[in-house]
């Protein structure tokens, strides 16, 4: 079918979908983030029955099955959100769904599928990727003669997803200058772009993909769907190796431009949405906003639209997102700084730093008897970063930027235990304010040499660090408890590590 015929058919199907999808869900809000130079409208699909838009397409497709097809049951493959939509529809329509999911599917999405479908669903974990799970699902559907519910490459599925665009149009908050639509398999983007352009032909549509997920842009370039050799899965909801034939044809017609966003930029967008809307989307849900923030200077004065398409992720992923977000917003920078391996050197370094910089990460372990190279993470604006570098040069502290280095990202702190002389390790709690660590080191530096420093900002009012000190004599080592007690003004509390812990630290 020609692309123009496909878009006409899709528009008709979206009209029909209107009377089906609201049997299981309601319209979601369109919220405004008003910035000084930009108006961002966010479609809150995270507030839908499954906290993602996929319920729309799954139910619209399954609601059209015959009584015999529903009695037999359905099959699908999904990395998470589509599976939840199918599960919800299966329970509503009193049918049974066999759902194939990759072994690495986040725990929260597996739990949600069972929560929405109950006894109406069976999960089969198969393979390490969506492609493997999909192949197994198709084979099972053919073998059992069951209806396969595709996640995106089906007009009825796309039409259901397109009802979110109908709600945007009906909100009466337009017109919009530009829409940034994330793309995985392409179903939501194809339907949303089709409906928006029908109602507002002048709108500019930008398809947004992950840097290592750009399967639709590759298909557009090649003229047909092609399989990527590798797909990054940080944004797992859009991690599609090969897009659909139907979605490719429609996207090629209705999407005007393509761009990519990095995982760090997506993480920064998640933080932006938390700060402005108090919501926490899954990574794929924030891709459109990530693209807006990436283009922010060029969008001054515009009214732009994005779809927060989902908020289903494991809680544990928040730690990685929090670390990446500052890097993605170009705020977090890491420097490896050279200092002498002598008592008081670390304090002298901290004293040389401008008052405007905020230390959020400190990684150091003694590896040389004469020189030290601590890695420090700073939360700074570009202007503050230039001031920081100039201050280090003026104080004669050589440095190298290591923001993108793997060992820094994984916080791999190197140290040589054989170089530590009569070590004394403590966990320190201090008030999380500028200069707190410098105050503590000022008090103890005359009495010990810092040989280990492990600290990362946690967002709390209290900071916590694991610190190691070394001494020239056992007498100084034994007296260090009195030194710490005399410096109580500089910290909240400390606790000496146990002998068992010290044995593990020293190997």
CATH of the domain at 62: 3.40.50.1100
Regarding whether 279 and 139 lie in a shared domain, the answer is no
Q: What CATH number is attached to the domain comprising 386?
A: 3.40.1020.10
Are the C-beta atoms of 296 and 258 separated by less than 8 Å?
A: no
For residue 414, give every residue at least 6 positions away whose Cβ sits within 8 Å of its Cβ, in sequence order, or none. 365, 367, 407
Q: Which two tokens stand for residue 30?
A: 């369109």
| Residue 285: CB atoms within 10 Å | 34
Last residue of a domain, one of 325, 340, 361: 325
| Tokens 């060992």 found at | 407
Q: Which two tokens stand for residue 208?
A: 């947004």
Regarding whether 173 and 66 lie in a shared domain, the answer is no
For residue 142, give every residue at least 6 positions away whose Cβ sits within 8 Å of its Cβ, in sequence order, or none. none
Q: Among candidates 421, 500, 430, which has minimal Cα distance to 466?
A: 430
- Alpha-carbon 68 to chain mean position: 42
Using alpha carbons only, give the angle 36, 37, 42 rounded to the nearest 5 degrees: 90
Q: What is the pLDDT along the chain (507 residues), one digit of tens a residue?
A: 666 789 999 999 999 999 999 999 999 999 999 999 899 999 999 999 999 999 999 999 999 999 999 999 999 999 789 999 999 999 999 999 999 998 888 888 889 999 999 999 999 999 888 888 999 999 999 999 999 999 999 999 999 999 999 999 999 999 999 999 999 999 999 999 999 999 999 999 999 999 999 999 999 999 999 999 999 989 988 999 999 999 999 999 999 999 999 999 999 999 999 999 999 999 999 999 999 999 999 999 999 999 999 999 888 888 888 878 866 566 889 999 999 988 889 889 988 999 878 888 999 999 999 999 999 999 888 889 999 999 999 999 999 999 989 999 899 999 999 999 999 999 999 988 878 888 888 899 899 999 999 999 888 889 999 999 999 999 999 999 999 999 999 899 999 999 999 999 888
- Alpha-carbon 461 to chain mean position: 24
Query: What pLDDT is attached to residue 125?
Result: 93
For residue 87, give every residue at least 6 positions away whose Cβ sits within 8 Å of its Cβ, in sequence order, or none. 97, 99, 113, 114, 116, 117, 120, 121
Are the C-beta atoms of 293 and 345 separated by less than 8 Å?
A: no
Q: Among candidates 263, 386, 382, 381, which has minimal Cα distance to 320?
A: 263
Q: How far apart are CA 382 and CA 500, in angstroms?
A: 44
Distance in angstroms between the alpha carbons of the first and the last residue of the chain: 68
Regarding whether 286 and 171 lie in a shared domain, the answer is yes
**CA atoms within 13 A of residue 130's CA, in its CB half-sphere:** 26
DSSP string, 256-278: -EEEEE-HHHHHHHHHHHHHHHS
Regarding whether 488 and 340 lie in a shared domain, the answer is yes
| Tokens 């890695």 found at | 375
- Alpha-carbon 150 to chain mean position: 26
* pTM exceeds cut of 0.85: no
Is cis: bond before 249, omega within 30 of 0? no
Query: What pLDDT is attached to residue 328?
Result: 57
Regarding whether 454 and 347 lie in a shared domain, the answer is yes
CB-based burial, 386-424: b 16+ in 10 Å, e otherwise: eebeeebeeeebebeebeeeeebeeeebebeeeebbbbb
Last residue of a domain, one of 272, 297, 325: 325
Give the total number of structural domains in the chain.
3
Regarding whether 288 and 166 lie in a shared domain, the answer is yes
Regarding whether 28 and 60 lie in a shared domain, the answer is no
Q: How far apart are CA 411 and CA 363, in angstroms?
A: 7
Query: What pLDDT is attached to residue 2?
Result: 67
Is cis: bond before 172, omega within 30 of 0? no
Regarding whether 167 and 76 lie in a shared domain, the answer is no
| Residue 74: CB atoms within 10 Å | 25
Q: How far apart are CA 384 and CA 208, in angstroms?
A: 31
Q: Among candidates 329, 261, 278, which has minimal Cα distance to 33?
A: 278
Regarding whether 228 and 180 lie in a shared domain, the answer is yes
Domain hosting 321: range is 3-52+155-325
Regarding whether 196 and 96 lie in a shared domain, the answer is no
Last residue of a domain, one of 301, 325, 349: 325
> What beta strand segments (E) does 8-67 contain?
30-34, 39-44
Regarding whether 109 and 182 lie in a shared domain, the answer is no
Regarding whether 351 and 321 lie in a shared domain, the answer is no
């Amino acid at each position: 079918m020609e692309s123009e015929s496909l878009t006409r058919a899709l528009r008709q199907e979206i009209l029909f979908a209107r009377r089906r999808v609201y049997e299981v869900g309601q319209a979601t809000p369109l919220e405004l983030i008003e910035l000084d130079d930009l108006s961002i409208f966010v479609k809150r699909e995270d507030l839908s029955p499954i906290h993602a838009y996929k319920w729309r397409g799954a139910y619209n497709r399954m609601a059209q099955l015959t009584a015999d097809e529903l009695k037999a049951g359905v099959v699908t493959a999904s990395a998470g959100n589509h599976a939840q939509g199918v599960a919800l529809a299966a329970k509503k329509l009193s049918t049974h769904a066999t759902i194939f999911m990759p072994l690495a599917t986040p725990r929260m999405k597996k739990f949600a599928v069972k929560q929405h479908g109950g006894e109406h669903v069976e999960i089969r974990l198969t393979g390490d990727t969506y492609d493997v799970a999909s192949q197994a699902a198709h084979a099972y559907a053919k073998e059992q003669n069951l209806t396969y519910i595709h996640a995106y490459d089906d007009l009825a599925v796309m039409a259901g997803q397109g009802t979110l665009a109908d709600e945007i149009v009906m909100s009466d908050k337009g017109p919009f200058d530009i829409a940034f639509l994330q793309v995985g398999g392409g179903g939501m983007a194809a339907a949303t772009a089709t409906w928006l352009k029908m109602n507002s032909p002048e709108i500019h549509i930008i398809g947004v993909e992950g840097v290592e997920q750009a399967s639709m842009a590759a298909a557009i370039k090649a003229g047909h769907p092609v399989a990527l050799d590798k797909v990054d899965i940080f944004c797992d909801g859009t991690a599609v190796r090969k897009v659909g034939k139907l979605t490719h044809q429609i996207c090629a017609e209705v999407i005007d431009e393509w761009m990519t966003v990095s995982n760090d930029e997506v993480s920064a967008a998640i933080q932006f949405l938390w700060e402005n809307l108090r919501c926490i989307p899954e990574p794929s849900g924030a891709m459109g906003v990530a693209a807006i923030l990436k283009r922010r200077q060029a969008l001054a004065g515009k009214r732009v639209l994005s779809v927060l398409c989902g908020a289903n992720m494991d809680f544990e992923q928040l730690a990685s997102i929090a670390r990446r977000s500052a890097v993605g917003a170009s705020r977090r920078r890491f420097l490896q700084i050279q200092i002498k391996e002598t008592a008081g050197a670390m304090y002298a370094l901290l004293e040389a730093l401008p008052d405007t910089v905020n230390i959020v990460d400190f990684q150091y372990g003694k590896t040389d008897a004469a020189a030290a190279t601590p890695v420090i993470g700073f939360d700074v604006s570009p202007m503050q970063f230039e001031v920081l570098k100039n201050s280090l040069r003026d104080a004669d502290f050589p440095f190298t930027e290591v923001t993108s280095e793997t060992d820094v990202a994984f916080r791999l702190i190197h140290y040589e235990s054989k170089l530590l002389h009569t070590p004394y390790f403590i966990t320190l709690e201090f008030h999380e304010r500028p200069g707190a660590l410098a105050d503590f080191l000022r008090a103890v530096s005359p009495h010990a040499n810092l040989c280990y420093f492990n600290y990362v900002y946690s967002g709390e009012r209290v900071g916590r660090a694991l610190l190691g000190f070394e001494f020239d004599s056992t007498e100084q080592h034994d007296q260090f408890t009195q030194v710490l007690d005399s410096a109580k003004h500089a910290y909240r509390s400390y606790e000496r590590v146990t002998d068992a812990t010290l044995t593990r630290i020293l190997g």
